[in-house]
Chain A
């Protein structure tokens, strides 16, 4: 059981990093949904199925859907943001 938890935590942290580092906004939204999915699995491991169900339905499903639809409505779907990785603070 501990190894499932370790793997899920690593994957969740990886997805959370991907949200910050991905340049495509739609991909970042998908990664945010993946974070919620990992957290939902952690809730199942911690024996809280009610919270896990809410997290999976609202966090992974609905919020990702709302964010993606907002992106489309604002016309930002295909947009890539450029991250400033240098020392120049904008």
Chain B
């Protein structure tokens, strides 16, 4: 009964919002910022993917904030979950082991491709980083007795986070604003283009990947409750 009332309430709310959205004129006022970015981003930043131009070029500071939020969340998760231990006992089945062996290099290549081509094609550090984390978690799922080396993950994470800030500080030392894109812009659409944007996205990808891989490994490690 209660769920029925909830459904009715949600339906009414949806109807209300639809009516309001129907009254409002669609696409008015026009988005001038989007048009301006589409006209100027290719010349200013040399990134074929305008989303990357916005995320790293015009709004690099927001991305730094996003990274710090992710860092805080991963740290809190690690604190609660504790160190990851090797799980003794039951090994995975044949299909999971073979599938993990086959998928690991493919996922690694796809993740690195998405990270490295973030300024040319859709995707970038965040998406590629998640795929990298999944790639390194898959062998862990197939072989429960192994564990990831958290020292190395922490080192990679710290170094890539530092690299992001250092690239921003270099721009500051050249009398530009923090995180202003550096270097030559190159030809639009080639992999070596966009100045320092690919380097920033590589740092983001490595940081996100190592953070999430460490979090997943901690979450998967066995404790008393799991059976």
**Chain A contact residues, CB within 8 Å of chain B:** 20, 49-50, 52-54, 57-58, 61-62, 65-66, 69-70, 72-75, 87, 89
Nearest chain B residue, comparing its CB with the CB of A69 = B219
27 interchain pairs, CB-CB under 8 A: A20-B3, A49-B123, A50-B49, A50-B122, A50-B123, A50-B124, A52-B122, A53-B114, A57-B127, A57-B130, A57-B134, A58-B126, A58-B130, A61-B134, A62-B130, A62-B134, A62-B212, A65-B137, A65-B216, A66-B216, A66-B219, A69-B220, A73-B223, A73-B226, A74-B225, A87-B1, A89-B1
A58–B130 Cα distance when bound, in Å, is 7
A17–B224 Cα distance when bound, in Å, is 34
8 A Cβ contacts from B90-132 to A: 114, 122-124, 126-127, 130-131
Pick the contact of B225 from A20, A66, A75 — CB < 8 Å?
A75
**B142 on the A face (CB < 8 A):** no
Given A53-B122, A65-B134, A89-B1; A73-B219 close (CB under 8 Å): yes
A4 to chain B, nearest CB (A): 19
Number of interchain pairs (Cβ within 8 Å): 53
Pick the contact of A62 from B2, B3, B123, B133 — CB < 8 Å?
B133
B226 and A72 contacting across the interface, CB-CB below 8 Å = yes
Nearest chain B residue, comparing its CB with the CB of A66 = B219
Nearest chain A residue, comparing its CB with the CB of B114 = A53
* Further pairs besides A50-B124, A61-B131, A69-B219: 16, Cβ < 8 Å: A20-B3, A49-B122, A50-B49, A50-B127, A54-B127, A57-B131, A61-B130, A62-B133, A62-B212, A65-B134, A66-B215, A69-B216, A69-B220, A72-B220, A75-B225, A75-B227
- The range of chain B's interface size is 20 to 34
Which residues of chain B are near A72, meaning CB under 8 Å?
220, 226
Which residues of chain A are near B124, meaning CB under 8 Å?
50
Which residues of chain A are near B49, meaning CB under 8 Å?
50
Which residues of chain A are near B67, meaning CB under 8 Å?
none
Which residues of chain B are near A54, meaning CB under 8 Å?
126-127
A52 to chain B, nearest CB (A): 8
Instruction: Sort A-B residue pairs by CB-CB distance and give the 10 closest, nearest first.
Output: A49-B122, A57-B130, A69-B219, A53-B127, A75-B225, A50-B51, A50-B122, A87-B1, A57-B127, A53-B123
A35 to chain B, nearest CB (A): 16
A57–B215 Cα distance when bound, in Å, is 16
Q: Which of A52, A61, A65, A72 has the largest number of chain B CB atoms within 10 A?
A: A65
